[in-house]
Chains A and B, each alone.
Chain A
């Protein structure tokens, strides 16, 4: 049985080695080499790419990615908590509502992003509706800015916040909320003082699941931001294509992975303290 159990690990290990550890090693290698004249890489080994990461121009992109991801995470949390609470503690139609939360995954993220663009562009549904109602004279700038990027990220990653919150709220004993109200807490106070603190592991898990992919988002800033809100994912893509600077693209990727790991580790430690 013990030998069989080890065999169970093999397929996963093989996939991780081939498709994660090996590419990661290649990226590390590339990041320490010199750029070739027409792209690609060449000798000698150098740490110059890492030195360039600290350039103000790129630090700005790191900083933007950080705050856009953080703001999107907070917005997801604010939107997801009441929804998850309702599904877990109030309604009896849990299965139906949970299925509705996953419904967007039935179509490609790319198609859904284009759908948003059709809604938000100058001649899109929102603007033409507002104009036909004479509420606005000229179209509102709804697309191709940082706000649109955040909207796209919140929309895309909301389910990743809902599920961990639901999982912890579902286990919350309703009697605790009743006891809080019985002791004089208003319904909102009961949620704030009892449900929120007891849901912290779920909150932290949801934050990791939303924050990390938002940090590295590529598609949303590219399409919804119209290339004007450059985030880390766009920087990396740009280095490997237009700029033809593979070592620098690789270095940015690794620094990004490092930041994500640090943030995740901090949140992980907080979660373990709570459990």
Chain B
């Protein structure tokens, strides 16, 4: 089946919907992923992002809507005939197969490669994910980061149209997670395959993605590049999911957009008096917890390694009106 999509679109979802019994997990989700794009789907657990991914992989059947992959409607194509590949949250490495066996598994299923071709592809991908020399190990003898790289290699060696990643970094400890995050980004740039990345971690999404789709309650709330969705969130949910928000009257502000001074500021800015309540030192910055006169709690983020404010002090919070977040009322 041919389906019209723009030439640079590799994956398009059209009103994709999934009901589990009577419960709607995914409601008319539509978006398009471009070739070579790092596209993130973010949202809290239960927002429908994993169900969306599983429908794209073919592991769940959509209740309604279409999945267009590389110009073909694949909505009813079984998973083993779809040119997408998934990196599972738990990696799902085959415990009885070696690193090489795991990576070659998909190639062997295709029956169009000779043994030497498979070996060649295997060597190339082992080098890319830096696992050369570990090909005869079993998964249980690998570290968390190595398992992650095998899972990536196993999918990437098939050169899928889109690589689907289901919270691939969540099983790693925090230090390793940061390292793998950097590796993932450079790997994606190097091979140029589109990544559809699922996470509930806003920092991961902001730092990795070309574009982000924010999902809530089975619907897409906003799609945009990281700076746009962070600085110009469309909805209150999007604003609060991607970072902290201070509410001062009608104005919504990111903590780093609030300035603090002892004297009322110059003209051309907005301000409100407040009382310092707490001071949190975070190494390279301070978080100043304050309460405004009309009772709102506000957190201001101050750069630098010293802070001249004390709890109990009267201060002025001020900001540039251009930094106010403009949110749709729901």
Contacts and interface: CB of A to CB of B under 8 A. Distances in A.
**A and B found bound together:** yes
Q: What class of interface size applies to chain B in its complex with A?
A: 20 to 34
Contacts of B90: 173, 175
Nearest to B79: A181
Given A181-B58, A182-B79, A183-B155, 18 more contacts: A173-B92, A176-B94, A176-B95, A179-B92, A180-B94, A181-B79, A182-B58, A182-B80, A182-B84, A182-B155, A183-B80, A183-B154, A183-B158, A184-B109, A185-B105, A187-B78, A187-B80, A189-B80
Interface residues of A, number: 18
Nearest to A178: B59
Interface in B149-175: 154-155, 158
B96 A183 contact: no
A267 B93 CA distance: 27
Interface in B52-76: 57-59
A195 to B, nearest CB: 11
A187 B58 CA distance: 12
Interface string A238-251: 00000000000000
A183 B95 contact: no
Contacts of B81: 184
Contact of B86 (A182, A187, A198): A182
Nearest to B157: A183
A186 interface: yes
Interface of B: 57-59, 78-81, 84-86, 88, 90, 92-96, 105-106, 109-110, 154-155, 158
A178 B89 CA distance: 12
A113 to B, nearest CB: 40
Contact of B109 (A173, A185, A197, A198): A185
B230 to A, nearest CB: 32
Contacts of B158: 183-184
20 contacts: A173-B92, A175-B88, A175-B92, A176-B95, A178-B92, A179-B88, A179-B92, A179-B94, A181-B59, A182-B57, A182-B59, A183-B106, A183-B155, A183-B158, A184-B158, A185-B105, A185-B109, A197-B96, A198-B95, A198-B96
Q: Is the interface of A mostly helix, strand, loop or mixed?
A: helix
Contacts of A173: 90, 92
A181 B58 CA distance: 9
A182 to B, nearest CB: 5
A194 interface: yes
Which of the listed residues A180, A181, A183, A187 has the most CB atoms from chain B within 10 Å of its own CB?
Answer: A183
Contacts of B78: 181, 186-187
B88 A183 contact: no
Interface in A156-201: 173, 175-176, 178-187, 189, 193-194, 197-198
B94 to A, nearest CB: 6
Given A178-B59, A179-B88, A184 B95 contact: no
A198 B90 CA distance: 17
